[in-house]
Homo-oligomer: A and B are copies of this chain.
């Protein structure tokens, strides 16, 4: 068979309403003036036929698709998916639709994926994770970004890319990590360890920087063997904690640069016959969904997911409608105290 979706078009409506397609189009868009009488007549026919305009045709004509590309590192990542969910909901509420591109499934070809989606004439792109979040993005990647940004507005979430037509929405992760360090200090911890994911990413490097700064400022010892980096995986968090537990002298608290690592770290502590926070405290970052339900509940920092998403979309909308909007918006994070870090 074939999908003979031969839809009703404005021609059908025009004919049945005894007007021209131009008039139908006018009542559809609602911009130009139409005599109330004819407008009602047309509306009635539209209703009767349950006609819906073909958005593909409209997009071709307007050269605006009401569509935004969202390049996300990985949908199964709980941090990213929360933002995607919020973004999607907000988009549909304003008549937009997101086209997702999942970066990880394309290995090195993040750029190729981008072109694939650009062919669908999206009005802009949002970047969530991927190479854009490297502390030092590669030259070739930046060139590509710059090139695309000459055609379309780009929004980077938790990144720092700075070109014409590029916007940024981000959490102030330096301040956020400083906040949770302060909390840890306020619990009288003096021996503090750090578990991170991949080096080279902003979310990693900034936290390491702040970690060292704060500890120095407090005259606390920064021990190399108490800082261990791996990947942003549960297994990696566990492996890192294993290394720390094997040390002759251990920190009293281990801070993790995200909750996934914290989960792995906690698991490993229990596996070693110790407990969290009894024998060692652990903190996370991001407040992913499960952190509240994990045992023990994870003390962490919560980012403002809905704002991150909504502002990202809004910046593109503003750009499209030629409104002014700040190039960068920085959001605060919130400390969420639960059970995984105890007072000494």
Copies per assembly: 2
With a cutoff of 8 Å between Cβ atoms, the chain B residues found around residue A320 in the complex are 3
Least CB distance, A248 to chain B, in whole angstroms: 27
The reply to whether the CB of A217 lies closer than 8 angstroms to some CB of chain B is no
Among A5, A84, A152, chain B packs the most CB atoms within 10 A around the CB of A5
Which residues of chain B are within 8 angstroms of A293 by Cβ–Cβ distance?
234, 263-264, 267
Residue A31 interfacial (CB < 8 Å): no
CB-CB contacts below 8 Å: A259-310 with B: 263-264, 266-267, 270, 289-290, 293-295
Interface residue count on the A side (C-beta < 8 Å)? 61
Contact B56 A65 (CB under 8 A): yes
A294 to B76, CA, bound (A): 17
A26 close to chain B: CB less than 8 A: no
The docked-state distance in angstroms from the alpha carbon of A290 to that of B77 is 11
Chain B contacts for A2, CB-based, 8 A: 322
CB–CB B65/A76 < 8 A: no
Flag the segment in A85-93, A126-134, A326-334 that touches B. A85-93
Q: Are B92 and A101 in contact (CB under 8 A)?
A: yes
Contact assessment for B270 and A115 in the assembled complex, using a CB-CB cutoff below 8 Å: no
Provide the residues of chain B in CB contact with A196, threshold 8 Å: none
Q: Is A225 an interface residue (CB 8 A)?
A: no
**B102 engages A100 (CB within 8 Å):** no
Q: Which of A98-112 contact B (CB under 8 A)?
A: 98-102, 105
Question: How far apart are the CA atoms of A292 and B84 in the complex, in Å?
Answer: 24
Judged by a CB distance under 8 angstroms, whether A172 is at the interface is: no
Tell me, in angstroms, the Cα distance from A254 to B65 when the chains sit together: 51
